[in-house]
Amino acid sequence: MKPRHLLFAAVASLPLAATACPPPTSLTGSAIRQNFTETRSLTGLPTPLRSTGQLVVTPGQVEWHTTTPFNIDTFITATGMTQSIDDGPAQQVATGNNGMDAQITGIVASLMQGRWNDLRTMFQIIITQTNANQNWRVTLHPLDAKLAGFLGNITVEGCTGVTSFQLTQPNGDTELIAFTPAPP
Amino acid sequence: MTTPRLAAILIALFYLACCLYVGQRFITGNPVDTNILSLLPADARDPVVNDAMRRAGNAASTQLVFAIEGGTPQARQTAADALTANLATTGLFRASADDGQEMWRFLFARRAALLCPADRVALAAGNGHALEADALRQWYGGLAAPNSQLLATDPLLLTNRLLQCLVLPALPATPSGDVTLVTGHLTASPFELNTQNRIGKAVIAWQTAFASPGLRLSRAGAVFNAAYGADQARQNISYIGTITTIALLLIYFVMFRSLRPALIAITMVICGLAAGTAVTLLCFGTIHIMALLFGAALIGMVVDYTTYFLVTGIGAPNTPAAARRKHIFRPLTLGMSTSVGAFAVLLLFPVPAFRQIAVLGGSGLLAAWLGAMWLLPFLEGKPAPAGPAACAVERAAIALLASAPKSRLMSPPVLAGAAILVLATALCLGHARDDVRLFQAPSPSITAEADHISQLTGFAPTSRFILVRGSSADDEARNEQALRQNLGPAATNLLAASAFAPATATTARDAALIHTALLTPQLAPLLAQLNLSASNAYASVTPGSALPAPLTWLRGQTGATYWSIIPLPDSIAAQIPTGGPNWQVVDPAARYSALIAHYRVLATYGLIGAVLSTSVILLAVYRRARALIIMLPTTLGLVTALALPPLLGLPFSFFSVMGAFVVAGAGVDYAIFQWEHPGKRGDWTRVGILLAASMTCISIGLLALSSVFPVRSFGVTVALGIALSLILSSLVHSKND
């Protein structure tokens, strides 16, 4: 590498050093819009299932819009979960989650917005960040067996915002959801 | 040991055994039933409908819905979990979530032999690919994705489809806004006091812990109305018992100078009621709260025999007890017999609570009579001297009862004419009440909470249902399927047993269709897209005809008839015809009301029969046609007691006639005494009559204050009838002189 390039690289890295990762407790924001890549690794399935789409969190509602390989728009609110396939009519989904839709809506919104205190009634929360320049990690262990059976353990990673979730189910299934900023 | 002494000891032992038994039953468990349905007649004309109505009523009455409002979603969920836990610790509550798991297991076991109606159509049209594509989307799909256990057992996610089409529509709608629901059902009768107490305590404990953070709770469920009704009845029992006891003490105080007679009377009342309660519990296993309420009112009747006997001691203090007993034995025995006979008539009507009242009243009076005749002479000791107002009471009794009224207006023909006039006016202007929905005034606050939940969720437990019959379980299932098909879209969301466990032929057809139109052509492509090898996920299925535990109440068998219930929400009822081959819509409220009306007419004829049969008994005992005059006061009292209340705003009812039976039996006692003890020698007898009737009127009359219409109607009729029977008994005296 030429010295000019090294200089350029050093200058380019300055803003990164200036924007060191704040602690996860300092996250803010009420509305979230992120692109996601979801990778589902299911026990017994040789190849993970990968999908992409967009997550939009607004007060009282989570929209999980998978665009590839299928176009499925899922809305989760306190009243339940609906799906519309290929822009068709929204249909209610039987989630079999024992009426926890409202709870999940709140959990997802709280996770994306870093409202950890709201989650302490439901999870044991462990925050890991060795120094201010590092990404942080928040691990959530559900306190309620019913919730643990449905969600499993959750690991959230991020810096200035949430960059990934990983859900680890008791049966070994994992779900890694990586986020990147979406255009407004 | 002399025979009377032996009899006294045996009666005392009997009383003691009854007290111990009743005490043991109430200490070791609560045998009190508070079910308002026990006040309604059974449908003896159609036992299948009767069984189905009971089943549907029980299922509707065990449902519970709580709505928690306010706070954050997390706070509400925490509160909801706490409420569920509180209710679960009672051991009497099963959360809907637990039912959901049971339903899942049931549907999973039948996933390759049961179809949603829409999927049946799709597969028959060769559109199995749609189901396969749907499953693939779900495997990829976000937060609602299934877990890997189903890859091996149900890769086409057929269980989810069944859950979606069969279970979801039957659940209460999840309300919008800041509301979290707790739903479930009771595993014990909501009409048992034990259930009401434990559920009530669980809710209060939750309110203590969670009401302060700004959360509001609304409740819906029959258990809360039953608890309210039971609480009202308990209050009624308390004030009736208290007032009657105070009245008893007061009367005994003014009649006797000693405290001993009052203590004896209270002891005899307790023993008589204990005996009646013990016999009722032995006969029925439980006792209805309205029977207990009547028991409180029975104090005034049970004490009569004691009063009659003790009063003879004032009139003839130097006469031995045995002679005084002999003096009143015949009229008292005849009076007891007619009273017990009147109560026995209540047994003819298939109303559980009134049958209990019949046994309680009849056995209580019999026990009190036994005690008054053979135990009381030993307890009495030396006859108590007359009290401060005994002479005044005697003068009043003589003035009221010793001679026929002088006025011509009070002559029997005029009185009979007046009674007929009142009856005719009542027939023209009065009205009857048979509508069971008007029998008990609900708690305004509980009703408001239930209405609020109904608005939020659409939850409104209905007792109306479609009843389908068949000659076998499979025949019934076929009939129900055919009915649902004929009803078309109106039946789409109805909860029906045959949707979960269809007829054998349907199950076989569905299994074949799933195999040929879905598993054979679509399973391999789906597995290939998931990079999975061939699967035998659908090799083992266990269709069977059994229903999942939460739904077993939908089917039943009465005799050789197999039947099923399809609950019919009010919102859909108007779209459904009233019946057809092998099925009918049953509206229990309307049916019970029709039955009440039917029994009201039947009981009225029965009452006429009872009056006639009592007349025959009197003729047989006295062998003189003139003895029929004994029936005149009671007959006039009966006519007036039944006809007057409707003119004053209390409708005529089946329960008025039930009360009239008691008047027919007890009211005739006074006339019998007048007949037996005419003239001067009957003066103290008349004091006994006056006191006994007063006690009965006070205690039974207090039932008129009850908020439960059947009890109020019964109480007013008895009190009015007894009062008139007493006043008019002087007519008998005048004829017999």
pLDDT per residue over A25-69, tens digit each? 877 666 788 899 999 888 888 888 999 999 888 876 788 898 988
In terms of CA atoms, which chain A residue is nearest residue B155?
Answer: A45
A residues 65-84 lying closer than 8 A (beta carbon) to B: 66, 69-70, 72, 74, 76-81, 83
Per residue in B256-288, pLDDT tens?
Answer: 877 888 899 999 999 999 999 999 999 999 998
Yes or no, beta carbons of B151 and A173 under 8 Å apart: no
Domain range list for chain B: 3-34+225-438+590-736, 464-501+544-586
Whether the complex's predicted ipTM surpasses the cut of 0.85:
no
Of B74, B97, B179, the CB nearest to A121: B74
Q: How far apart are CA B569 and CA B459, in angstroms?
A: 9
Q: Give the model's confidence band at B586: pLDDT under 50 very low, under 70 low, under 90 confident, else very high.
A: very high
Could you list the beta-strand ranges (E) of B119-168.
none
Q: Name the nearest CA neighbour of B173 among A97, A92, A62, A105.
A: A92
Could you give the CA distance from residue B344 to residue B338 in angstroms, rounded to a whole number? 10
Q: Look at residues B500, B497, B493 and name the one whose alpha carbon lies nearest to residue B469.
A: B497
Say which range, A56-60, B237-241, B594-598, B725-729, has the weakest mean pLDDT: A56-60
Residue A172 identity (one-letter amino acid):
G
> What residues of chain B lie within 8 A of the CB of A110, using their CB?
74
DSSP string, A37-84: EEEEE-TT-SS-EEEEEEEEEETTEEEEEEEESS-EEEEEETTEEEEE
What is the average per-residue pLDDT within B384-407?
80
Q: Among residues of chain A, what percentage have pLDDT more than 70?
A: 76
Domain hosting residue A88, numbered range = 22-181
- B174/A94 touch (CB, cutoff 8 Å), yes or no: no
Q: Which of A69, A78, A103 sits opposite B140 (nearest CB)?
A: A69
Cα distances (angstroms) measured from residue A57 to each of A32, A35, A178, B45, B396: 5, 12, 15, 62, 87
Q: Is residue A162, in this structure, part of any structural domain at all?
A: yes
Q: Is A70–B140 a contact, with Cβ atoms under 8 angstroms apart?
A: yes
Instruction: Tell if the CB–CB gap between B145 and A78 is shorter than 8 Å.
Output: no
* From A46, A76, A79, residue closest to B531, measured CB to CB: A46
Q: Is B89 helix (H, G, I), strand (E, B) or coil?
A: helix
Establish if A152 touches chain B: CB-CB under 8 angstroms: no
Instruction: Assign domain B3-34+225-438+590-736 to its CATH superfamily.
Output: Multidrug efflux transporter AcrB transmembrane domain (1.20.1640.10)
* Residue B612 confidence (pLDDT): 86
**pLDDT grade for B539, boundaries at 50, 70 and 90:** confident
Reading the block at residue B472, the tokens are 């076998």
Min CA distance, B443 vs chain A (Å)? 30
Return d(Cα A31, Cα A19) in angstroms, integer.
22
Residue type, B397: A
Taking alpha carbons only, the member of B217, B213, B365 closest to residue B294 is B365
Distance from CA of A129 to the nearest CA of B (A): 26
**Which of B36, B63, B226 is closest to B553 using CA atoms?**
B63
Best mutation target among A42, A77, A113 (most B Cβ atoms within 10 Å) is A42
Question: Is the CB of residue B151 less than 8 Å from the CB of residue A44?
Answer: yes
One-letter amino acid for residue B130 of the chain:
A
Sheet of A91-92, strand order: A91-92, A80-85, A72-77, A61-68, A49-58, A32-41, A174-181, A162-168, A153-158, A136-142, A123-128
Buried b / exposed e along B687-725 (16+ C-beta atoms within 10 A): bbbbbbbbbbbbbbbbbbebbbbbbbbbbbbbbbbbbbb
Q: Which residues contact A94 (CB under 8 A, 6 or more apart)?
A: B160, B163, B164, B167, B168
Q: Which amino acid is at B486?
A: N
A13 CB-contact burial (10 Å; exposed 0-12 / middle 13-18 / buried 19+): exposed
Q: Which residue has the tokens 């209050």?
A: B235
Residue B496's pLDDT is 93
Tell me the pLDDT tens digit for each residue of B205-222. 998 888 766 788 999 998
Inter-chain CB proximity A103 and B73 less than 8 Å: yes
Hey, which residues does B565 pair with through a beta bridge?
Answer: B467
Give the CA count within 13 Å in the CB-facing half-sphere of A138. 28
Alpha helices, DSSP H, located in chain A: 3-18, 101-113, 116-119, 145-151
Q: Which residues in chain B touch residue A47, judged by CB atoms under 8 angstroms apart?
A: 530-531
Beta-carbon contacts of residue B98 (< 8 Å; ≥ 6 apart): B184
- Tell me which residue in A62, A102, A171 faces B180 most closely, judged by beta carbons: A102
Looking at per-residue pLDDT, the higher value among B462 and B467 belongs to B467
What does the pLDDT look like over B646-656, one tens digit per residue?
999 999 998 89
CA dist B189 and B299 (Å) reads: 30
How close is the nearest chain B Cα to the Cα of A159, in Å?
24
Within 8 A by CB and 6+ apart from B457, the residues are B65, B67, B172, B173, B174, B175, B181
pLDDT of B40 strictly over 80: no
Within 8 A of B160 by CB-CB distance, chain A residues are 94, 96
pLDDT for the residue numbered A12: 37
Q: Identify the residue whose tokens are 């890991």.
A: A128
Provide the chain A residues 9-48 that lie in CB contact (below 8 A) with chain B.
Answer: 38, 40, 42-47
Does the residue A146 lie in any domain? yes
A67: nearest CA in chain B?
B141
Q: What does residue B644 show for φ and ψ, rounded to 5 degrees?
A: -70, -45
Domain assignment of residue A155, yes or no: yes
Q: Among A131-135, A179-183, B110-114, B354-358, name the one with the lowest average pLDDT.
A: A131-135
pLDDT of residue A86: 84
What average pLDDT is seen over chain B? 86
- Closest residue in A to B182 (Cα) is A99
Chains A, B: CB pairs < 8 Å: 125
Q: Per the CB < 8 Å rule, is A122 touching B152?
A: no
State the pTM of this model: 0.73
Considering only residues 106 to 125 of chain A, which have any Cβ-Cβ distance to chain B shorter than 8 Å?
A: 106, 108, 110, 118-119, 121-122
Cis omega (within 30 of 0) for bond into A69: yes
Write out the residues of chain B at the interface with chain A, using a CB-CB cutoff of 8 A: 72-78, 81, 96-97, 100, 104, 134, 136-137, 139-145, 147-149, 151-152, 160, 163-164, 167-168, 173-181, 530-532
Lowest-pLDDT range of B464-473, B535-544, B712-721: B535-544
Residues of B in contact with A81 (CB under 8 A): 143-144
B104 and A79: CB-CB below 8 Å?
no
Residues of A within 8 A of B81 (CB-CB) are: 144
Question: Domain count of chain A?
Answer: 1
- How close B170 gets to chain A, by Cα (Å)? 12
List of residues 6+ apart from B2 with CB closer than 8 A: none
Continuous H helices in B398-503? 412-429, 444-457, 473-487, 497-500
Task: Determine the residue among A36, A50, A72 to mutate to test chain B binding: the one whose Cβ has the most chain B Cβ atoms within 10 Å.
Answer: A72
Written as one letter, the residue type at B7 is A
Give the residue among A33, A70, A9, A69 at the shortest CA–CA distance from A180: A33
* CATH number of the domain within which A39 lies: 2.50.20.10
